[in-house]
Amino acid sequence: MTGKEHADFPYFLHSSIQLYAMVQQLHTTPTDAPAAIDPRYSGNMEMILIRTPDPFICTYLSPLDAVMGSRTFTRSDDHFWPIDFRQVDTRRFMEKHGRLLVAVNYAYGATGGRLAVSDAGHPLMVYFPSSFDVPLDQRDHFTIHFSDQVTERIETAYQRAGLSGFGDTLAMMCTWTAEQIADAEAEALACMPPTIAVAGAAVDQYAIYDPESGEWVFTNFD
């Protein structure tokens, strides 16, 4: 990156996997004391985290999955929306935790052809957690490379589901408008398969919604 580019982009994150994060624009910037940094916030944006027990930033492969897969973490009066993960300033998060923690949600959990859902009936996703140690002097401009294990896990799930060309579908969804995302979510929920409460489920299947065919596809973990 040239000096001019550095000046034009004071913060730049590149990822080896195209991802989306759910953020909520706040009317005012949180007034946390410097000693009490809340990693959910970046400036006047709030992002969704999952605790395992460490907090990981929730990311998704598509804007549709970001919206539909994050419903269990949000309230009805929230206004979260998917944005390119590269646009999320993660410096505040790393200042709090000393590293970047990212959970890649890549498929929905299921068992016996039934979707695992939360108590509120929202589909739940399976994810792969990754940790990145970013040196202090590089946190303004850096690249994260996910391990081969992450990409292989994702590719295996989609290949087993007969969706080896799903990369083209993901690329198509990158261009979707808010209206298209909302319409696709409505269509996915309208044809949602039978469900099972996650508390009583031994999740052993992936479920993937294909917006081009309008169908949910199931495949076993192994």
Domain count across the chain? 1
pLDDT in tens, 112-121: 999 999 999 9
Q: What angle do CA 145, 148, 150 make, to 5 degrees?
A: 85
What stretches in the chain show pLDDT beneath 70?
1-9, 26-44
CA distances (Å), origin 138, targets 11, 19, 40, 91, 144: 10, 21, 21, 10, 11
Measured CA to CA, the distance from residue 170 to residue 116 in angstroms comes to 23
Residue-level pLDDT at 46: 84
Provide the pLDDT for residue 27.
54
- pLDDT attached to residue 38: 61
- Give 123-164 pLDDT, tens digit per residue: 999 999 999 999 999 999 999 999 999 999 999 999 999 998
The range of the structural domain enclosing residue 50 comes to 3-220
Model confidence, pTM: 0.88
Cα–Cα distance for residue pair 111/109, rounded to 1 Å:
7
d(CA 205, CA 118): 16
pLDDT at 4: 47
Give me the pLDDT at residue 210, please: 95
